[in-house]
Structure 1
């Protein structure tokens, strides 16, 4: 929410998490050679987590002023990666250290020869903690003040540290007394000052603006800021617009409305409360359906709008709804004369699903005879860079797959007008006549401006570039090319060299990359003259492959889930909880079957993983095929896939651990 992260940044956060936990595990294993040091280190980890958690929240929210990023903008690429790495690794490192020393403490309580089993049980308990945290966050803490959540976690961790000292380190009474006082006063102080900390740190996310209101909803965070006399609205860090957007609203609305001879029923998808809805009503339609994703967004922003825009929201012709636009089109059976999509650029898969072939086909099915559809992206007509050409040509190619007639209006914003009628001529004179006949008062879309926007030389030049573009590939739910091209466009603003590298990676054939990875793994195993070391390496490769597969599968399922259903921030915790539940179940199952030979067990699990990935590809091609409707029940299919992926990875850990500790001989230590 501070940086408005797309899937790349979500993946980077997961990378920081895993890097921190792995480094912490290495350090923890060195700090817990004997029982007293293990329990002392474990208590210190709990204390550090209690302190680092609220500090990490503060550092994340202070990222924009530290990096010099303006409100609503995405930060410079390399700096944002380094900053997030520096902020997240310390906390994640302590968590990784905590697991290592907790496992060592568990080993100390087990009889000789039970090391592998003790580590497995420690891993199981960690998975159970993840499951509990995911459930509590999904249904309770997602709405709470983050610093109150931090206070609760601080109390739990400090109380646990006190318990460890009381049971295992009884001689350190002075430290125990100090810990008890800290466990009482630190969480209490954090909780009592949570409102102030929430307001102050949230303000840092909007440099040079005054934060008026911020609130968490099931779809993210909604914030209202003031800049002079103007109010600005943000959703999860993304600027939605100001309290009045007359210029953008006129261009968004009047071209598609004037392209239709008599628009009676109009559908507006996306932001409409700050001007677009008012401009639509100037054409005297009988009914306007306005669909926002977040039901709380209009409620929160309504009080900050000018009086005339508030009156527009009360107009009886305007029917406001709150649901996912794709879901609305699936359930809505009516037809519309004009459909206008007002979405941000497809910077994430969540937004990209409103620029895909499946979405456009759904839109066309809801257009009446002679109906018009309009959408847009940010652009720069005077400087058509390769990145902009790829982005625009992808949207253009996708639209032309669905609509026989598509018109582009390029300026700083590139508008697309599309119609299912082959005869659509987009005649500027007809639009000018309709503007006059309807007696519509406009400040920016005048008769002369209509003629200019439809006939200037940029129109033909951009259309020709899009038609002849090498990368005029259509955008689909399963292959979000437009989203990737938008990522490259954003990246090119900071470093063209990195942009070229990312584009080159996208052109590499997947089979070649897979074969290279397999040869690297085989070389790592084979490069050992001693059989026992080779077997140990095999155990490490087995666990590493399972971890890599799990993380890749987790990112893929998160992407597929939001591509299919949207609402990433609301239901992301569900997916991760399903993964952790599977890991817990897999660990428990493997712990309960100690007689299975490790080599055969690991081979079977990896074979099951390979078959599962193959079936996953087939299932995805089927469920994302054009015309296949996904019901809400399919959520459980994705959650089931997440559970299965975690199950296999969770079962690998105890077997690989026993294999490693047995020096490759299969001895069950």
Structure 2
């Protein structure tokens, strides 16, 4: 099965193109599906597992054939991948028309996970489908180096795709333009390899790039207006999230990744909290405000005479998108008393030495890790350190109306335990939205609601002429009693007394509230996921059974040597994706957003894979040494969870991926030369099958049970197991 030099370069160009395209497709699918599924990181795990399932199926169900048939598979995959990317990306939005949902609601979590599976699988299938035939086509000349060569060329393409997206495409191109660009490139590559007459076809997708903005605007506007009560007036992909602004009557609603962030104007919603904050503050002072939206609360606090407010909006582009609507509804009263900070509050506090008279944090529910960061003990401790001597901290929490179910109780207990650990002196309100009010100093808070009301009466009247009438009309300080319904608070205290003893506090490295929020949502939806969570051992048992069947099939078809090689690469695939998910969460915890950094993390991972596979392909590094280094690098990631050094974070991604990349060519050479396509098929499919298991186990078992640090320890043990199998089968013989 020989191949001349020019043809070999053409085939390797396809490997590079498919790696580049795969990197772009993956990150775009993550971005678009997250906007459909409330930004939940659990969906990222499912997307990864679906991605690897598609690659596994494409590599696994790929029978040996003549060269002509193998080439057709490769060329078909090259041309079809950009088309499937566009179908999946825009299908994530069109699905709302095909399967309507109630306005303002989400699909159930189970449905979201199934949508992630079906939207990801078609494109990823062809990422796996092209690989074994391409290895077979170049193996005539490259022999045992063929698998490693194609692997590192594809990895280099993925690195290029990740870098291109992170630093160029994320700023200038939408998915439609990227799909057209990839299709244009595929026609050029196929034409150069097969028939140059096909190259002019590239002009068709090239011309569509110039109309991609209008095409996308039409798609999004039509989908939104058919599935929502209002009309879409602004849509924007920022580096942080997908922002949609909807107009309905006299109101404007702002969504981030499908989650309603706030509505403008929100006078009635702001009334109660406005007066609670004013009752708590003792003087004009300085205040931090985060999460309330730039609406009536902010506007009226400025008008009420707060000395200076620092308003935090972590997405800079969101403030710019919303400002024209805000300026129309709340014409300029801010002056010098408002400073808008377009950065993450935690990041600001971690490097600031200032102290504030009041910090008010009103984040949305912790439906993802980004939001969970504002409900952890570490965040509460950070806020406490930045309070003035008599400073007060106020935060919100999803509460209850009459009954605390077990799942709701555990969710609240996880957050309440963390809050109370930092603020032993605190007040709490009752209701569907609870407010937790803490102070670092004794005596800063009123003893009870009567003292709070009397203090507020002494400070009245407010400068009502400058406030919105809905805030002050017929107001009496006795309204504050509605926040402190004694029967509910006593019931809450009794419930928490026992719950906080058995429920872990919510932490950065063990985000219990985030997981309990998922469980609570699944319970309310009575979805299949809830049964799966409650039957906790079902998923690990299912993965074990399927893995045994797959390993048995490999042994039956290819023999024990291939099964041993498959076991090692399966463990490596499992650990690699598990570690990548952990690194994503570490970055999320540290920087507040990982939305546009997933592609960079993926790019550096692919760079490490490229260099690792190239090095192992040329120097024949011993397999046990590679796996020992892999375990050591995971140990360093464990250290990073404590040190939190940015430079070390990025260096560890490259080191870890370098060692992961070295495993494939080492095993490819060790598997023998009986059939290069069989070696490529087994190793590629088992690598991705391990990644499927790792994606699911990490998000559904390891992280909820063991936390981030415990997950890394489990990963180290799995690598050591793989090292033992590799040594006994390949080194001892």
Q: CA deviation at 1:68?
A: 2.6
The reply on whether 1:4 has 2:32 as its aligned counterpart is no
RMSD across aligned C-alpha pairs, in angstroms? 3.0
Cα distance change, pair 506–574 in 1 and its aligned pair in 2 (3 A): farther
Query: In structure 2, what is the Cα distance between the partners aligned to 1:90 and 1:524?
Result: 22
Q: Pick from 481, 495, 516: which aligns with 1:485? A: 516
| Residue of structure 2 equivalent to 1:439 | 461
Query: In structure 2, what is the Cα distance between the partners aligned to 1:22 and 1:429?
Result: 66
Alignment of 1:459-608 (within 5 A): 459-469=489-499, 470-495=501-526, 498-499=529-530, 501-502=532-533, 505=536, 533-594=559-620, 601-608=622-629
8 Å Cα contact 2:397/2:434 also seen in 1: yes
| Residue of structure 2 equivalent to 1:646 | 657
Alignment of 1:23-42 (within 5 A): 23-27=57-61, 29-30=62-63, 33-42=65-74
Cα distance change, pair 142–205 in 1 and its aligned pair in 2 (3 A): farther
Cα distance change, pair 36–524 in 1 and its aligned pair in 2 (3 A): closer
Query: In structure 2, what is the Cα distance between the partners aligned to 1:10 and 1:400?
Result: 32
Cα distance change, pair 95–528 in 1 and its aligned pair in 2 (3 A): closer
Query: In structure 2, what is the Cα distance between the partners aligned to 1:51 and 1:521?
Result: 32
The reply on whether 1:294 has 2:285 as its aligned counterpart is no
- Aligned to 1:83, the other structure's residue is in SS state helix
8 Å Cα contact 2:398/2:412 also seen in 1: no
- So what's the TM-score if we normalise by structure 1? 0.87
| Residue of structure 2 equivalent to 1:319 | 339
Unmatched 5+ stretches in structure 2: 1-34, 465-470, 675-725
Deviations 1:3-54 (A, max 9, x none): 2232210010001110111111224x32x62222222221111221132121
| Residue of structure 2 equivalent to 1:303 | 324
- So what's the TM-score if we normalise by structure 2? 0.80
Alignment of 1:37-76 (within 5 A): 37-70=69-102, 73-76=105-108
Cα distance change, pair 395–585 in 1 and its aligned pair in 2 (3 A): same
Unmatched 5+ stretches in structure 1: 167-175, 624-629
| Residue of structure 1 equivalent to 2:261 | 240
Q: Pick from 197, 200, 208: which aligns with 2:219? A: 200
Query: In structure 1, what is the Cα distance between the partners aligned to 2:418 and 2:730?
Result: 56
Q: Pick from 238, 249, 259: which aligns with 2:280? A: 259
| Residue of structure 2 equivalent to 1:172 | none
The reply on whether 1:657 has 2:668 as its aligned counterpart is yes
Query: In structure 2, what is the Cα distance between the partners aligned to 1:401 and 1:263?
Result: 29
- Aligned to 2:442, the other structure's residue is in SS state coil
Cα distance change, pair 529–247 in 1 and its aligned pair in 2 (3 A): closer
Alignment of 1:259-408 (within 5 A): 259-305=280-326, 307-312=328-333, 314-408=334-428
Query: In structure 2, what is the Cα distance between the partners aligned to 1:525 and 1:302?
Result: 58
Q: CA deviation at 1:464?
A: 2.4
Q: CA deviation at 1:583?
A: 0.7
8 Å Cα contact 2:110/2:529 also seen in 1: no
Cα distance change, pair 16–202 in 1 and its aligned pair in 2 (3 A): farther
Q: Pick from 97, 111, 115: which aligns with 1:83? A: 115
Query: In structure 2, what is the Cα distance between the partners aligned to 1:39 and 1:517?
Result: 34
Cα distance change, pair 455–412 in 1 and its aligned pair in 2 (3 A): closer
- Aligned to 1:323, the other structure's residue is in SS state coil
8 Å Cα contact 1:574/1:639 also seen in 2: no
- Comparing both chains, which one has the higher relative contact order based on Cα–Cα distances under 8 Å and sequence gaps of 6 or more? 2
8 Å Cα contact 1:230/1:242 also seen in 2: yes
Cα distance change, pair 550–528 in 1 and its aligned pair in 2 (3 A): closer
Query: In structure 2, what is the Cα distance between the partners aligned to 1:501 and 1:284?
Result: 52
Cα distance change, pair 48–507 in 1 and its aligned pair in 2 (3 A): closer
Cα distance change, pair 82–472 in 1 and its aligned pair in 2 (3 A): closer
- Aligned to 2:484, the other structure's residue is in SS state helix
Deviations 1:609-656 (A, max 9, x none): 233334433442x33xxxxxx5xxx22211222112211111110111
8 Å Cα contact 1:267/1:340 also seen in 2: yes
Q: CA deviation at 1:534?
A: 2.0
Q: Pick from 157, 163, 170: which aligns with 2:192? A: 163
Query: In structure 1, what is the Cα distance between the partners aligned to 2:71 and 2:298?
Result: 63
